[in-house]
Structure 1
Amino acid sequence: MDSPQRFRTASTIDWLRQCFSAVGEFESPAEDGIPPGPLRPAAVLVPIVLRQPEPTLLLTRRTDHLHHHPGQVSFPGGRVEEHDRSPIDTALRETEEEIRLLRQHVELLGCLPQYHTGTGFDVTPVVGVVTPPFELVPDEFEVAEVFEVPLSFLLDVSNHQRHRIEVRGRMREYYAMPYGPYFIWGATAGMIVSLQRFLDR
């Protein structure tokens, strides 16, 4: 399917279902500086919204006072809790808590490979599609803003920048995808690259 046709909403859901029904091995990006020892399990929802005329990816901007990643763009999600039945359950629960996107609105497609972060998390990205209309209620403590970015922009490799930053005396590289006033980078950008590689494999 060519790129213009791929990102017409009417055909996107069939294309996505086909991609996830033909799962195969592929390389997923990893962050620099993964700490030694066991990583903390976590999960996020990667919500593809079937907007017209083309689908979008739903993202959040974290509030500035949070201890972990304040002000950063992220997917809804968080740590796996003891009562969670699976990483998928974690992703759906956290999404309901953070932005009140109820799980019955999400059609699950599958999971991308585990993403290991430099902050010590082993993240399972859970991909799902969301069909409007739906109503969101962001948690005021955790979420400063919810916004959407065209999927075609995020999957375009020409928009995938590589940046470097010094952390504790060591240079680390990371992906970034600036979009308007938003700077999408780090683990979120890395998981978007993972999605792009999965869909284009």
Structure 2
Amino acid sequence: MISLLEGGGAKPGKKAQDKVLLLRLGIIGSEPPIWRRLVVRESMWLSQLHEAIQVLFDWFDYQTHTFLLGDMRAGSPVQQGELLVEDDRDITLVDLNLEQLGEFVYEYHFGETWRVGITLEKVGPVEPGHAYPQCIAGERAGPPEDCGGLEAFADMLHCIQEPESELGKEWLQWLGESYDPTQCDLEKINKTLRKQLRGT
């Protein structure tokens, strides 16, 4: 049996029942690149993908989010008030027809505007005994919540390379000793995904 978790899998376009999707998610504009590969069931709701993205990049869902799906926007109507958006609790990944849609974008925190580009890389069968969603690869830690956006994040990375400087000390105190921008902790990510999104 072909396994997406082992790097195999059918290319997009294959017909199959009970499919899983291999998605690549990358923060647009980040340098060095910050990205993840995530295996999910095609029946996953967009609202659940939102929850997974929060886990992937170690965010806390404090702010508003929106999916940009071609001419359509989807998100939480409760969060966004009168802004015209479809309810992401009513849309699954299979509804999007990702093979034709191509890349779509997840926006988070409109003050800082983090944009995550999402693309379909492979399609494969659901495999008994495997838990979904599962993050199988990634590089670098996500930008900390409320760090100020891409430009401020780049400044932060520069400052913490000089830990004895005044700004370096301030940032490191705010970040905490455990923060390492070079690390993507797959074990922690998958443990949290299993806890929050079991059975999706």
TM value normalised by structure 1 = 0.29
Say which one has the larger Rg. Answer: 2
TM value normalised by structure 2 = 0.29
Q: Which has the higher strand share?
A: 1
